[in-house]
A and B are shown apart, each in its own frame.
Chain A
């Protein structure tokens, strides 16, 4: 018997057609598609059958899983997430050990070439023993699973860019999924953790159109990562007026002024936090009073301090400057002495 369609699944969960259409409308807008696409998305989503999904967690903290499974209540997004056939996810599944691995192998065999592979966490390349599941190292497991995947979603900054495991000095030689797999479509959904709605949005787009969405230069869906936090930040007018909070408890902070001086990385961070927000659209870090730490950008952990303003840069230090002053002074004195000698020599003649 074929698996139920998404429409049948949602109906069984008590979701009305009106609620489903509202979700489709919101998703269409979120993906940056015209309103005329709503019926098509609704039809495609409604008829979609549960795709097989293999989820491989590697060097990760489970924050990405927590974000997606716990952040929302029983929204339609989470129901759609439940509607996929999540055949392997070793944090969530009941099975363990050999039984779990057999399930994964069977699911891959049954859906070879069609399943969606979700990866969270980076892949250590320094030593196979740095990360293993059931005695098999992460690198080998990724290569095998990627071979039969229709597409791969690199979930979270670790899978997308190496993330915290890949931060200097990168003791495990951690790399991103895209550094290992070169011949499959990969959608990077970075963030530490990524926004739940973004992952369901990407899934929706994949279910609707059967292909990965339009991506930016870093492999991220343009519909969610097309603009910076700064572009859409509600505090932007304060930036324009030059009104900045100087500390987290001053008058400026209480008045909701721009957090640029406190190290906000919004101007160089591409993500949908300022529009989609977190916790069912409640707020996002800047709205809660803290600057953006740029967690959806490559190497965010190595970009200086979180509280160091973007424009401060890494200009050097007092020792470098002192050395330059010493060298410059020595050169100046030497060239002046040489000029004086020439003067004397000329006068002597």
Chain B
């Protein structure tokens, strides 16, 4: 079995299995916790209005802009680049379509009549490179800023590594950057994705699944208390 065969076969299967088990374990373990009863009189009975915090927290607040601008800009640069390259690069779209066909018997085209669009490779490459640059910028910032350096732990650095690795290996495989055989670069790319999947549920990357629920819950609690969002 070659490295690529392992990465495309057993490696991927085990990584997907660990990812699903880990994510469900973490999510259900949190969502099924008993909420602490709030016996106080609500100042605002329409607590659901606090859900708008999900959107509000996605945009910088003017009064904190000076301190948060770097993180906001880099955060958006990374997330947009990462998500666009993940969901709009043609080989990735083919992978997701294959997964959909395996799970529900059809892909998006069969389900709703139109396919998932893909973007030209030039755009994907550019956005991926921007995402990598943003990740390195935040890492340097983490090293330089004494407070961030103090509060950083293994989870922060390892989560950074498993996030940047698929981007770098993907760019290398696509552009044949290192002069290595393509199939070896492709195998490294797949293995780096598998490392990401395995680590995902157990580190801070899990925020991808919990961030909006957490913001919504916080917003509803604040709204109930009559706090300003």
Question: Which A residues are within 8 Å of any B CB, using their own CB?
Answer: 217, 228, 230-231, 239-242, 244, 246, 260-261, 267-268, 270, 298-299, 303, 308-318, 320-321, 323-325, 327-329, 331-333, 335-337, 339-340, 343
Contacts and interface: CB of A to CB of B under 8 A. Distances in A.
A320 B21 CA distance: 11
A332 B29 contact: yes
Contacts of B122: 240-241
Nearest to B14: A316
Contacts of A329: 24, 28
Contacts, number: 128
A328 B23 contact: yes
A314 B8 contact: yes
A152 B145 CA distance: 63
B92 interface: yes
A314 B11 CA distance: 9
Contact of B94 (A239, A303, A312): A312
A244 B115 CA distance: 13
B102 A299 contact: no
A314 B12 contact: yes
B21 A331 contact: yes
B201 to A, nearest CB: 9
Contacts of B181: 217, 270
B120 A242 contact: yes
Contact of B95 (A299, A313, A318): A313
B32 A333 contact: yes
Contacts of B23: 328
B16 interface: yes
B154 to A, nearest CB: 22
B32 A336 contact: yes
Given A313-B95, A321-B16, A324-B17, A228 B121 contact: no
Interface string B32-47: 1110000000000000
B28 A320 contact: no
User: Lowest 6 CB-CB distances: which A-B pairs, in order?
Assistant: A332-B28, A328-B24, A336-B32, A311-B91, A312-B98, A324-B20
Contacts of A332: 24-29, 32
B156 interface: no
A126 to B, nearest CB: 20
A320 B17 contact: yes
Given A240-B121, A321-B16, 8 more contacts: A260-B91, A309-B94, A312-B95, A315-B12, A315-B16, A325-B24, A335-B25, A335-B28
Contacts of A261: 90, 94
Given A268-B4, A314-B13, A328 B118 contact: no
A316 B34 contact: no
A8 B72 CA distance: 78
A331 B28 CA distance: 8
Given A268-B182, A309-B91, A327 B21 contact: yes
